[in-house]
Structure 1
Amino acid sequence: MGVSWENIRSLLIFFGPILLPKAYSWYGSFRNSHRGGASIQRVPQPVQIALAVLFGLCCTYIIKTLPYFAPENLFTKTESRIQIPVDVLFNRIAATRPNNALTEEDLALRGKFVNLESRLLYLQFGPRVMAECPFCTSDEPKSYFYYAIPDILWPHLANLVVIAVVTSPTWTGKYGIQWRTLATIAAAVLAIVEISIVSSYNYQGNARALRLGDLDMFFWTLRNYRLVFLALLDGVLGWVLYLSATNRAFTQPPSPAERVEKINRTLLSAKSKMNALGIMRNTALRDEDLRSRSHAYWSHEVRLMNEVMEDRDVIDGVNDALSNRINIQDISRDAESYAENVLQPLDAEL
């Protein structure tokens, strides 16, 4: 059930030019995030829901790998060798059914088990494809493969729909959209790899198995691998989505539009605070009681500062600073330059 080196090389040649630039950009964003570029934040509410969906899907995949949820294997259930006569096999199956009566699927499989080849194909494609395919015969093994393709692709397509939903910009915004392409490619690669494995599997290898333990239960093993890798894909997607949403890694610099919007919000906030301050000052000046309190405060402040400045120690300290530590000329020049820069636009308008 292995993948040949030729298949791996073909996939690398096809997806390498797409993945290498992305890997380099991820490394750069990961390094920048650890240099303190962006502050850690809480997971946004939409991303929390997306992570919950991915976690639930991962748990579902893992649970479905349990033998209880796997399709029935006639040979394992009856502990029979693959060379067992058909009548003996289905007599054992009937003994496990209610009222010792075979089900419709059992009867369909009994009609398909005409030779050893059909049993080998059963181990490759499973009971449903073997029982329900109306045109498949053991003389044309590829017919079972063509009929099984929808069953193989269905889990991948369903998982791809979930990935598309949780990475949509309307749900998870920029945090999900940055992983959408890669997650889609990874899902497509899983589907292609599974199709390739099923197509190239040598089902006749089981013909030499003399004991039940020697049989390669290809269909059931591949099903478990499929579920595990789908869970792994969704788990990795949830992990990187969490890292990018909290700015722990893979942070993206804000776009020019986002930077302009942030500056506008900052300016509007400052303007609103200045307006509020102006309203408060206007109210204080118009109200007689507040105006008298303000005048009393500043009168007290002036008197207090005069008393402080008349203190001998303060006078000595000020004189020492003016003569030794402070350059009055530089301060005057800076103040004059600042005043000119402030008043120059007003003079131009006048």
Structure 2
Amino acid sequence: MLSYDIIKGLAIFFAPILIPKAIALFRSVSSHVANRPPPQPLPPLASRALNILFFSTALFLALSLPSGNNVLSNKSFGTNDIFKLTNSRFNTPTELLFSRLRRLGGQYEVESEHDSTLKKLFTSPIARGVYLQLGSEPLIACPFCSLDSSITYLLYYLPFNTLVPHLFHLLVIGAVTSGAIVGPKIARWRNKFLIGSVVLFVLELCVILRATSPLFSLTENTPSAQRNKWTNIYSHYPDAPTSLHVQLVTLRPLAFTVFDAICAALIYLSATDRLFYTPPTPAEQAQQVVSMSAATMMTALTRLQALSVTRGAIARDPELSAKYSAYHCGGGGGKGDDEWIWQEEEVINAVAKVMNDRALQSNTRRNEKGVEMLNPSEYVDTITAGLEDPVSS
């Protein structure tokens, strides 16, 4: 137990270091939250990543549920624990153990070849220890394993039961953070998510190696030495020992479920700019300006091309060419001419819409037919207002 004096000394020593850092972190987070942009709608690429994570989370959650299969059937490979089901100790005689299992009902078969093989193996304490740590599959299906070298069961167990699920989870995380699938904004989480997946694998590997450390022990292979070793390991279980394999079958997909849910939350918060907002870099800002300028230039070029085509068509048509020449020579420029271009209703509405200025709309007039007309003199005066004033430096 830490005394008050020790706690006080540690506080006096670390407080000048930790308190300023905590204050700076708090101010940084507050400034980041205050200056963040308004939340944005979820982008389609981020929605695709969230859909993938939703299906993976649902799959792993379903795998973490109890299977309810036969404890000794070939389908389950011991996803249930025979010691827990029968409430038996580690050193319970084999016949008594299987007779208790038979009395549980017809759900649990003990007459198949698979079950008979397991029943024969249960006469060995090493086989019982391997069953509790690694399940029944290595005992039944491993072609090269031997009780004389119990570490071979671990070598068979790790690739299929530990490595393959984590490789599948890494594949899901890699697809979710792939720039080609979800875009560069979500792909920036790739390294962090992959590192988290590798950490999950390393943690599980450490748990398995620590629990199966008796398989590496160099004790005598005599029956009495084996019995004493495994009995001492499980002596702290007054009733039924706990199976590591059964716990991993449940906890591994449950850990994947929680991890994928956290990844989905981080992707949603960052994609909608609610958290983890990073302002664009100068290079990105310059790229945006260049893109906008290029789009504006392309629009202007398109309009100039359209104008050139229109003028070419007018020049080739005699009737249109005559009207065009008459207009520029003053034939269609009178204020009383209803065909003048400034009196067209579509032109007035288009100009008012583009300029979005009430002052322009107030300069309209109606002719005797009730059609709105725009006074060109007032329009020009409104547009050029203030240009005659000298520029003050």
TM-score class, shorter-chain normalisation, is: 0.5 to 0.7
Kept in 2, the 8 Å contact 1:30–1:251? The answer is: no
Number of the residue aligned with 1:56: 55
Structure with the bigger RCO (C-alpha within 8 Å, sep 6+) is: 1
Distance (Å, rounded) in 2 between the aligned partners of 1:67 and 1:187: 24
Which residue pairs with 2:7 in the alignment?
A: none
CA deviation string 1:73-118 (max 9, x = no partner) = 2223333332222233334445645796523432332232232232
Contact in 2 for aligned 1:78/1:89 (Cα 8 Å): yes
Q: Could you tell me whether the CA contact under 8 Å between 2:84 and 2:242 is conserved in 1?
A: no
Superposition RMSD in Å = 3.9
1:234 to 240, 244, 260: 260
| Pair 1:244–1:100, CA change in 2 (3 A) | closer
| TM-superposition CA deviations, 1:264-297 (whole Å, max 9, x none) | 34234545676799889x99x9585243628963
Give how far 1:300 is off: 7.4
1:110 and 2:119 correspond = yes
Query: CA 1:297–1:64 in structure 2 vs 1: closer, same or farther (change >3 Å)?
Result: closer
Q: Give the drift of 1:168.
A: 0.2
* Residue type at the aligned position of 2:134: F
The 1-side partners of 2:279 and 2:291 are apart by 18
- SS of residue paired to 2:89: coil
How far apart are 1:233 and its partner, in Å? 1.4
Aligned-partner Cα distance in 2 for 1:194–1:275: 62
Q: Aligned pairs, how many?
A: 283
- What is residue 153 of structure 1 aligned with on the other side? 163
Answer yes or no: is 1:293 the counterpart of 2:321.
Answer: no
Q: How far 1:122 sits from its partner (Å)?
A: 0.9
In structure 2, C-alpha distance between the alignment counterparts of 1:27 and 1:46, rounded to whole Å? 32
Q: Alpha carbons of 1:41 and 1:79: their partners in 2 closer, same or farther (altered >3 Å)? A: same
Q: Which has the higher helix share?
A: 1
Aligned residue identity for 1:221: Q
C-alpha spacing 1:139/1:290, structure 2 compared with 1 (3 Å) = farther
- Per the alignment, do residues 82 and 268 of structure 1 end up closer, same or farther by CA in structure 2, a change over 3 Å counting? same
Could you tell me which residue of structure 2 aligns to residue 142 of structure 1? 151
* CA-CA distance at 1:28 after TM superposition: 10
Q: Which amino acid aligns with 1:74?
A: I
My pick for the range that moved more, 170-179 or 108-117, is 108-117
TM-score (ref. length: structure 1): 0.67
Structure 2: gaps spanning 5 or more residues: 1-24, 69-75, 215-229, 312-322, 333-338, 345-363, 365-372, 383-387
Q: Where does residue 81 of structure 1 map in the other structure?
A: 89
Letter in 2 for 1:54: L
- Which of 191, 200, 203 does residue 210 from structure 2 map onto? 200
Instruction: Please state whether the residue corresponding to 1:216 is helix, strand or coil.
Output: coil
Instruction: Pick closer, same or farther for the CA change 1:270–1:178 going to 2, 3 Å.
Output: same
* In 2: Cα distance, 1:183 partner to 1:225 partner: 19
Give the SS at the match of 1:145: helix
Task: Report the Cα distance in structure 2 between the residues aligned to 1:226 and 1:292, rounded to whole angstroms.
Answer: 76
Q: Provide the C-alpha distance between the structure 2 equivalents of 1:111 and 1:219, rounded to a whole number of angstroms.
A: 20
User: Given that residues 73 and 127 in structure 1 are in contact (C-alpha distance below 8 angstroms), is that contact kept between their aligned partners in structure 2?
Assistant: no
Alignment of 1:186 with 2:170, yes or no, is no
Query: Hey, what's the Cα distance between the residues in 1 that align with 2:165 and 2:290?
Result: 47
**TM, length-normalised to structure 2:** 0.60
1:266 aligned to 269, 279, 292, which one? 292
CA shift for structure 1 position 210: 3.9
235-244 vs 84-93, which moves further: 84-93
Task: Indicate conservation of the 8 Å contact 1:29/1:249, yes or no.
Answer: no
Work out whether residues 30 and 249 of structure 1, in 8 Å CA contact, stay in contact via their aligned partners in 2.
no
**Residue matched to 2:133:** 124
* 1:176–1:241 CA contact under 8 A, matched in 2: yes
Aligned-residue sequence identity (percent) comes to 24
Displacement after TM superposition at 1:200 (Å): 1.1
SS of 1:332's equivalent? Answer: coil
